[in-house]
Amino acid sequence: MSPITGSAIYKKKAGMITVYEEESPPRILWKCIDAGVAPPVEIMLDSVVTLQASRKESPKMLLVIGIGKSPDNKTDVTFAFNSRVTMDNVKTVLQQTIARRKSAAAADASLAASANSDGSGASGTSSPAPMDTHTEEFLSGMLDENNLLKNLTLQQKLLRDNPTLMKTFAEAVIKSGLSPEEFWSTRVHLLRSYAIQTNQKRGPYNVLSTIKPVASSENQVNVSVTREKIHEIFQQYPIVRKAYDDNVPKMSEGEFWSRFFSSKLFRKLRGEKVNLYDRGDITLDKYLFYDPDYDGEEEDADIDKLLEEKKEEDGLRKRRNSEQLTSAKKKVKLFTEQGKEVPKFIDIRANEEDDSGKLGNGPDITMKENQNDELVSVMRSMNRLSRRMMQNIKDNTNTEQEFEQELDLKDLENANTVEYNQLEYTQRSNLSSNILPADLLEKFNSQSPLNPTPAIYDEYIKKLKSELNEVDLTTVYVDNKKPLLDTYKEVLNVIKKNAKSQAWTLNLEATVEKQDVDVDLPRDKLESLRLTHSTSVEFLRHFWLHYNSIGTSSPSTNPNFRAELLQLKKLYTSITKCLERVQANVSQMDEADSKLGKLLMEPLIKSLTSALQSYEAAIVG
Amino acid sequence: MDAIADRAFADTQANPHKLVDETPSSLAVVLDINPLEWRKLEESGSINLRQVVSSVIVMLNSHLSLNSSNQVALYVANSYSHGAQLIYPHPDSTVSSRFLHTPGMYRQFRFIDGSIVDQISHILSEQPETLEQLVGRDPKNQHVKGTLAGAISMALCHINKLQQSDELNALNSRIMVVSISDDSTLPYISVMNAIFAAQKMKISVDVCKLGPSSTFLQQAADATNGVYIYITQPSGLIQYLTTALFIDPMLRPIIVLPTDEAIDFRASCFITNKVIDVGYVCSVCLCILSIIPDDEKCPTCHSKFDHNLITKLKRKPKALPLKKKTKE
Where do the CATH 1.20.58 domains begin and end in chain A? 519-618
| DSSP at B271 | T
Higher pLDDT, residue A204 or B187: B187
Query: Is the pLDDT reported for residue B28 higher than 90?
Result: yes
Strand partners, A607: none
Distance CA B267, CA A122 (A): 56
Distance between first and last Cα of chain B: 76
Closest CA to B113 of B171, B157, B62, B176: B62
Residue % of chain A over a pLDDT of 70: 71
Is the Cβ of B67 closer than 8 Å to some Cβ of chain A? no
Q: Other CB atoms closer than 10 Å to residue B196's CB: what's the count?
A: 13
Q: How large is the ipTM?
A: 0.80
Those residues with Cβ within 8 angstroms of residue B305's Cβ, 6 or more apart along the chain or in another chain: B282, B292, B296, B297, B298
Distance CA A247, CA A81 (A): 60
Please report how the helices A561-587 and A523-551 are oriented relative to each other, as an axis angle in degrees rounded to 10. Answer: 160
Query: Is the pLDDT reported for residue A337 higher than 50?
Result: no
Conformation bin of residue A226: beta by default, left when phi > 0, alpha when psi is -120 to 50: beta
Name the A residues in 165-224 with CB < 8 Å from any B CB.
Answer: none
Contact B49 A483 (CB under 8 A): no
Q: Which amino acid is at A130?
A: P
Task: Say which of B143, B316, B320 has its CB closest to residue A434.
Answer: B143
Distance CA B276, CA B215 (A): 11
Distance CA A432, CA B143 (A): 8
Query: Is the pLDDT reported for residue A93 higher than 60?
Result: yes
Q: Are A256 and A244 in contact (CB under 8 A)?
A: yes
Residues of A whose CB is below 8 A from B232: 490
- Give the pLDDT confidence score for residue A514 in this predicted structure: 44
Q: What value does the mean pLDDT take over residues B153-175?
A: 86
Is the Cβ of A562 closer than 8 Å to some Cβ of chain B? no
Q: Other CB atoms closer than 10 Å to residue B250's CB: what's the count?
A: 15
- Which of B1, B4, B294 is the best mutation test for A, with the most CBs of A within 10 A? B4
Contact A467 B49 (CB under 8 A): yes
CA-CA-CA-CA torsion sign (A68, A72, A75, A77)? positive
Residues of A whose CB is below 8 A from B62: none
Is beta strand A214-215 parallel, antiparallel or unpaired with respect to A13-20?
unpaired
Contacts within 8 Å (CB) and 24+ apart, A320-326: A320/A295, A320/A296, A320/A391, A323/A391, A323/A394, A324/A391, A326/A399
Distance CA A444, CA A440 (A): 6
Contact A430 B55 (CB under 8 A): no
The residue length of chain B stands at 328
Where do the CATH 2.30.29.30 domains begin and end in chain A? 4-102
Q: Are B28 and B176 in contact (CB under 8 A)?
A: yes
Q: Out of A548-562, B232-246, B277-291, which region has the weakest mean confidence (pLDDT)?
A: A548-562
Radius of gyration of chain B (CA): 24
Contact B315 A552 (CB under 8 A): yes
Distance CA B209, CA B220 (A): 12
Those residues with Cβ within 8 angstroms of residue A236's Cβ, 6 or more apart along the chain or in another chain: A204, A206, A207, A208, A385, A388, A389, A392
Residues of A whose CB is below 8 A from B244: 491, 494
The SS3 assignment for B85 reads strand
A519-618: CATH architecture:
Up-down Bundle (1.20)
Query: Is the pLDDT reported for residue A420 higher than 90?
Result: no
Q: Other CB atoms closer than 10 Å to residue B1's CB: what's the count?
A: 8
Highest mean pLDDT among A23-37, A417-431, B6-20, B116-130: B116-130
List of E strands, A27-168: 27-32, 41-44, 48-53, 62-70, 73-81
Is the Cβ of B283 closer than 8 Å to some Cβ of chain A? no
Q: Are A498 and B262 in contact (CB under 8 A)?
A: no
Higher pLDDT, residue A478 or A340: A478
CATH class of B2-254: alpha beta
Q: Which amino acid is at A103?
A: S
Name the A residues in 453-472 with CB < 8 Å from any B CB.
Answer: 454-458, 460-462, 464-465, 467-472
- Give the pLDDT confidence score for residue B194 in this predicted structure: 93
Q: Other CB atoms closer than 10 Å to residue A322's CB: what's the count?
A: 10
A425-481: pLDDT as tens digits: 666 555 556 778 877 888 888 877 777 666 778 888 888 888 888 788 888 877 778
Distance CA A332, CA A407 (A): 12
Closest CA to A268 of A220, A320, A208: A208
* Cα A535 from chain centre: 24
Share the mean pLDDT of chain A: 74
- Give DSSP secondary structure letters for A95-133: HHHHHHHHHHHHHHHHHHHHHHHTTTSTTSTT---SS-H
- Give the pLDDT confidence score for residue A115 in this predicted structure: 47
Contact B131 A431 (CB under 8 A): no
Closest CA to B69 of B112, B114, B26: B26
Is the Cβ of B8 closer than 8 Å to some Cβ of chain A? yes
Distance CA A453, CA A444 (A): 10
* C-alpha separations of A539 from A158, A510, A612, A616, B31 in Å: 20, 30, 12, 17, 49
Q: Other CB atoms closer than 10 Å to residue A568's CB: what's the count?
A: 23
- Give the pLDDT confidence score for residue A532 in this predicted structure: 86
Cis? peptide before A437, omega within 30° of 0: no
| DSSP at A171 | I
Q: Which amino acid is at A175?
A: K
- The residue extents of the domains of chain B are 2-254, 267-328
* Secondary structure element (H or E) that encloses residue B174, with its range: strand B172-179
Distance from CA of B235 to the nearest CA of A (A): 6
* C-alpha separations of A557 from A396, A551, A567, B206, B296 in Å: 41, 12, 18, 53, 23
Distance CA B230, CA A491 (A): 11
- Give the pLDDT confidence score for residue A285 in this predicted structure: 77
Is the Cβ of B25 closer than 8 Å to some Cβ of chain A? no
- Give the pLDDT confidence score for residue A568 in this predicted structure: 87
For A551, nearest residue in chain B (alpha carbons): B317
* Secondary structure element (H or E) that encloses residue B172, with its range: strand B172-179
Task: Say which of B8, B48, B322 has its CB closest to residue A502.
Answer: B8
Contact A423 B303 (CB under 8 A): yes
Q: Are A142 and A196 in contact (CB under 8 A)?
A: no
Q: What value does the mean pLDDT take over residues A344-352?
A: 73
Q: Are B51 and B237 in contact (CB under 8 A)?
A: yes
Residues of B whose CB is below 8 A from A449: 132, 137
Query: Is the pLDDT reported for residue A110 higher than 70?
Result: no
Contact A491 B240 (CB under 8 A): yes
Query: Is the pLDDT reported for residue B59 higher than 80?
Result: yes
Task: Say which of B102, B130, B299 has its CB closest to residue A458.
Answer: B130
Q: Residue A88: phi, psi to the nearest 5?
A: -65, -40
B255-297: pLDDT as tens digits: 888 888 788 888 878 777 778 888 899 888 788 888 888 888 8
Residues of A whose CB is below 8 A from B284: 423
Q: Out of A329-338, A389-398, B275-284, which region has the weakest mean confidence (pLDDT)?
A: A329-338
The SS3 assignment for A339 reads coil
Q: Other CB atoms closer than 10 Å to residue B257's CB: what's the count?
A: 24
The SS3 assignment for A518 reads helix
Q: Which band of pLDDT confidence, cut at 50, 70 and 90, is reported for residue A292? A: low
Distance from CA of B167 to the nearest CA of A (A): 33
Residues of A whose CB is below 8 A from B80: 435-436
Name the B residues in 227-266 with CB < 8 Å from any A CB.
Answer: 229, 232-233, 235-240, 243-244, 256-261
A561-595: pLDDT as tens digits: 888 888 888 889 888 988 998 888 888 888 777 88
Name the A residues in 428-447 with CB < 8 Å from any B CB.
Answer: 428-437, 440-441, 444-445
Distance CA A64, CA B77 (A): 83
- Rounded (5°) CA angle B54-B58-B64: 145
Distance between first and last Cα of chain A: 46
- Give the pLDDT confidence score for residue A509 in this predicted structure: 46
A154-188: pLDDT as tens digits: 888 888 888 888 888 888 888 777 788 888 888 88
Q: Out of A615-619, B18-22, B100-104, which region has the weakest mean confidence (pLDDT)?
A: B18-22
User: How many CA atoms within 13 Å lie on the side-chain side of A354?
Assistant: 4
For A429, nearest residue in chain B (alpha carbons): B270
Higher pLDDT, residue A466 or B204: B204
Q: Residue B93: phi, psi to the nearest 5?
A: -85, 145
Task: Say which of B184, B233, B299 has its CB closest to residue A487.
Answer: B233
Distance from CA of A568 to the nearest CA of B (A): 8
A-B Cβ pairs (cutoff 8 Å, strict)? 257
Distance CA B314, CA B17 (A): 60
Contact B7 A457 (CB under 8 A): no
Is the Cβ of A611 closer than 8 Å to some Cβ of chain B? no
- Give the pLDDT confidence score for residue A314 in this predicted structure: 55
CATH class of A4-102: mainly beta
Distance from CA of A552 to the nearest CA of B (A): 5
Residues of A whose CB is below 8 A from B181: 435
